[in-house]
Amino acid sequence: MKVQRLFQGAGIAALTLYPLYAPTLSNSSMARMHSPLPLTDFALAMITNLALVSLAVALLWICLERTRAAKWIRFCLPAMYVFFGAECFSLYRTDNAGVKRLLGIAGLALCLTWVLYRVWPRTRRHVEFVCGKALGGLGIFCLLVVAQLLHLATWRPVPNFIEDRSLASAISPEMRSRVVWILMDELSYNQVFAQRAAGLDLPNFDKFRQSATVFTNVTPATDATQTALPSLLLGRLVDRVGYTWDNRYLFATQGQSLQAFPASETPFAVARNQGLTTGVVGWYNPYCSMLAPYADDCYWTYQANIPAVFVIGDGFWRNVGDAWLRYWIAVDHGQRDRALVYQAKVYDDLTVRAKRILAQDQPDFVFLHLPLPHPPGFYNRRTGQFESVNRASYLDNLALADKTLGELLATMHASPRWASTNIVLCGDHSWRTFVWRGTRHWTLEDEMASRGGVFDPRPMLMVHQAGETTPATIDSSIPLIRVHDILDSLLRGEQPDFQ
Ligand SMILES: [Zn+2]
């Protein structure tokens, strides 16, 4: 009997914690792809929580089963299934569990259960029998989840850096031209230049425009960072990506199956063939695995809130506690958000490294993928400080993107290589209002700046060629994946074709 109670406790644990472990297990490849660190702490913390909930529920049930409370617990079981069923359903539709709505649905289920038992009293025994047995079945499912989590705990990433090999091969760099590709995630042309919000100052974008070609009608590759970046690196549309257990990056175009990512078709290979050295400072994608044979200097990271409340690298005990934060965050949404603190940390880490790589003589080809102005807003443009509360907007992040651009340009200006430096500045997609509107990260300022959430699909694309001192504008339509060919031309020392 006690073993049966333990299985039922495990069933409750499997149900209540499902939204936390499911995204990591059902899409383990993506969780690993975006994690620069092992997932061991997360997996062991999850197993600990499953064990704690199983034991607590089993003990409580053993203590209560001969009391009047047991009758009420059995009565509530169908509503509990409805609550967690609705939570699992909402998990794949939104990033917000919406606890108040879920409680409302569960309350309705309670009322219906009461009506059912009043109208057909004999159904009560059957319903309670099925609910009890189903819990036992979920207990067996819980064991399978633990086995999968143990497997995940054994995964080891490849290092998220490649030591600087380029310095050793440096040969009179001032003789060669330099190409710097700055990709700011979610940088919208419309919000920066076409319909800039009143009162938003972006002096560095304006200044850069004075000596660059700006494209006013760029069509995006895809709306997801995950597929947009490999699309730009290959110059063709990537439909989906994958990541093997032994850390090999895979990609597929539409209708094709996943295959090894051909780093030899990226501008990094062109640079190497030209005898140039290469470097990456990147966000989100496992660049050091993707570009390994052609990157002399590489570092990538990601704040990796998987799946939403856990932060990889926080350690076992913090991850144990993280699981219990989720309802607090959902109820209190709009308030303090640890995700913002980690976004700011990652931003600091990447920009420090970006400035350092630009200040050096090497590499000749530098690719910077920065985590802004990608929401959530984590910067307050009025105070100049990072935010730990959800009240900053996309415009705040744009102001930080402008400040960052200014710092990167100042670093490049100070370099002896400035006169021969070419710069490609772009977004990977535009501001995805359809993704952010309705989440806890959406602010009134976002609503106004987007004119009620209207999506403008044009990502930013600007090109400064070495020595260019006048502005130019190209209004004809151009796909963003042409960035690949523009980079190839610049790396070969040729004039890029903008038509
Ligand atoms: Zn993106």
pLDDT at residue 169 tops 60: no
Ligand 1 centroid distance, CA of 374 (Å): 7
pLDDT in the model for residue 385: 95
Mean pLDDT across the chain:
88
| pLDDT tens figures, 38-91 | 999 989 999 999 999 999 988 998 888 788 887 888 888 888 888 888 877 776
From 127, 153, 179, the end of a domain falls on 153
Q: How far is the CA of 99 from the centre of ligand 1 (A)?
A: 29
∠42-47-49 over CA atoms, to 5°? 95
Q: Per-residue pLDDT for 114 more than 50?
A: yes
Residues 241 and 129 in one domain: no
Q: Model confidence at 412, in pLDDT bands (50, 70, 90)?
A: very high
Gap from CA of 76 to ligand 1 centroid (Å): 44
Q: What is the Å distance from ligand 1's center to 185 Cα?
A: 5
Q: Is residue 498 part of a domain?
A: no
Q: Rounded to two decimals, what is the model's pTM?
A: 0.88
Q: What is the pLDDT of residue 175?
A: 64
Cα–ligand 1 centroid distance for 222 (angstroms)? 9
Rounded-to-integer distance, Cα 499 and Cα 496, Å: 9
Stretch (H or E) spanning 44: helix 40-64
Measured in angstroms, how far is the CA atom of residue 77 from the centroid of ligand 1?
42
**Plot region of 326 (φ>0 → left; ψ -120 to 50 → alpha; else → beta):** alpha
pLDDT at 117 over 70: yes
pLDDT for position 295: 92
Rounded CA-CA distance 292/294 in Å is 6
Tell me: do 118 and 198 sit in the same domain: no
Based on the fold, state whether residues 21 and 124 are members of the same structural domain: yes
The yes-or-no verdict on residue 424 having pLDDT over 90 is yes
- Tell me, what CATH number does 347's domain have? 3.40.720.10
What separation in Å is there between the alpha carbon of 455 and the centre of ligand 1?
15
Average pLDDT for residues 184-195, to the nearest whole number? 97
Mean pLDDT, rounded, for 210-219: 97
Q: Are residues 135 and 176 in the same domain?
A: no
What's the 16 CA to ligand 1 centre distance in angstroms?
32
Of residues 426 and 129, more confidently modeled: 426
DSSP string, 385-431: EE-SBTTB-HHHHHHHHHHHHHHHHHHHHTSTTGGGEEEEEE-SS--
Separation of 22 CA from ligand 1 center, angstroms? 24
Co-location of 292 and 362 in the same domain: yes
Specify the pairing of strand 421-426 against strand 178-184: parallel
The verdict on residue 263 lying in a domain is: yes
Output the CA 428–ligand 1 centroid distance in Å: 5
Cα of 458 from ligand 1 centre, angstroms:
13
| Backbone φ, ψ for residue 166 (5° rounding) | -75, -30
240 C-alpha to center of ligand 1: Å? 14
Residue 391 pLDDT: 87
Distance between Cα 48 and ligand 1 center (Å): 34
Please check whether residues 173 and 131 belong to one and the same domain.
no
Give residue 92's identity as a one-letter amino acid code: Y
User: What is the pLDDT, as a whole number, of residue 390?
Assistant: 82
Tell me if 360 is assigned to some domain. Answer: yes
The torsion defined by the Cα of 335, 338, 341 and 345, in degrees rounded to 10, comes to -160
Tell me: do 284 and 413 sit in the same domain.
yes
Instruction: Map tokens 């590499």 to a residue.
Output: 363
Tokens, residue 167: 């310095």
Residue 30 lies in a domain: yes
Distances (CA, A) of 445 to 285, 427, 453: 30, 21, 11
Task: Give the whole-number percent of the chain exceeding pLDDT 70.
Answer: 92
pLDDT score, position 328: 61
What's the domain range around 485? Answer: 161-492
* 187 and 271 within one domain: yes
Give the position of tokens 């076409």.
194
Distance from the CA of 490 to the center of ligand 1, in angstroms? 24
Distance 224 CA to ligand 1 centre (A): 6
The answer to whether residue 111 is domain-embedded is: yes
Domain boundary among 137, 153, 169: 153
| Domain limit, last residue, from 153, 182, 199 | 153
What pLDDT does 320 receive? 84
pLDDT digits (tens, 9 = 90+) for 29-50: 888 898 888 999 989 999 999 9
From the CA of 384, how far away is ligand 1's center (Å)?
A: 24
Domain co-membership, 171 together with 139: no
Looking at the structure, do residues 104 and 186 belong to the same domain, yes or no? no
pLDDT at residue 307 tops 60: no
Ligand 1 centroid, distance to 460 Cα (angstroms) = 12
- 69 C-alpha vs ligand 1 centroid, how far in Å? 51
State the distance from the centre of ligand 1 to the C-alpha of 225, rounded, in angstroms.
Answer: 4
CA of 74 to the centre of ligand 1 (A): 47
How far does residue 429's CA lie from ligand 1's centre (Å)? Answer: 6
62 part of a folded domain = yes
Q: 239: buried, middle or exposed (CB in 10 Å: 19+, 13-18, 0-12)? A: middle
CA of 87 from ligand 1 middle (Å) equals 27
Q: Do 100 and 203 lie in a common domain?
A: no
Query: How many domains does the chain divide into?
Result: 2
Same domain, 340 and 469: yes
Please tell me the distance between residue 456's alpha carbon and the centre of ligand 1 in angstroms: 15
Residue 55 CA to residue 315 CA, distance in Å, equals 24
- Pairwise CA distance, residues 84 & 45, whole Å: 21
pLDDT band at residue 224 using 50, 70 and 90 as cut-offs? very high
Q: How far is the CA of 367 from the centre of ligand 1 (A)?
A: 15
Would you say residue 499 lies in a domain? no
Residue 497 falls within a domain, yes or no? no
Cα of first residue to Cα of last residue in the chain, in angstroms, is: 76
pLDDT at 396 over 90: yes
Angstrom distance (rounded) from CA 431 to CA 433: 6
Confidence of residue 335 (pLDDT cuts 50, 70, 90): very low
